Amino acid sequence: MIDVEIEDEAWLAALPRAGAIVRDAALAALNALPGGARPDAGVVVLLADDAAVGDLNIRFRGKSGPTNVLSFPAPANPEDLLGDIALAFGVCAREAQEQGKPLEHHLQHLVVHGVLHLVGYDHVTDAEALEMERLERAVLAGFGTPDPYAAEQGDDG
pLDDT tens string 21-64: 999 999 999 999 988 778 789 999 999 999 999 999 999 999 99
Contact 108, 88 (CB under 8 A): no
CATH number for the domain including 128?
A: 3.40.390.30
Contacts of 30 (CB under 8 A, 6+ apart): 37, 38, 39, 41, 43, 115, 119
Strand order in the sheet with 2-6: 2-6, 42-48, 81-88, 69-73
Contact 22, 7 (CB under 8 A): no
Of the two residues 150 and 129, the one the predictor is more confident about is 129
Maximal C-alpha separation, the chain: 43
Q: Is this prediction's pTM over 0.75? A: yes
Contact 40, 80 (CB under 8 A): yes
Number of domains present in the structure of the chain: 1
Residue 61, classified by CB atoms within 10 Å of its CB into exposed (0-12), middle (13-18) or buried (19+), is exposed
Which pLDDT score, from 0 to 100, does residue 26 have? Answer: 97
Q: Which domain holds residue 135?
A: 2-153
pLDDT tens string 131-149: 999 999 999 999 999 999 9
Which pLDDT score, from 0 to 100, does residue 43 have? Answer: 97
Rounded CA-CA distance 21/38 in Å is 18
pLDDT tens string 87-133: 999 999 999 999 999 999 999 999 999 999 999 999 999 999 999 99
DSSP calls for 77-99: -TT-EEEEEEEEHHHHHHHHHHT
Rounded CA-CA distance 123/126 in Å is 7
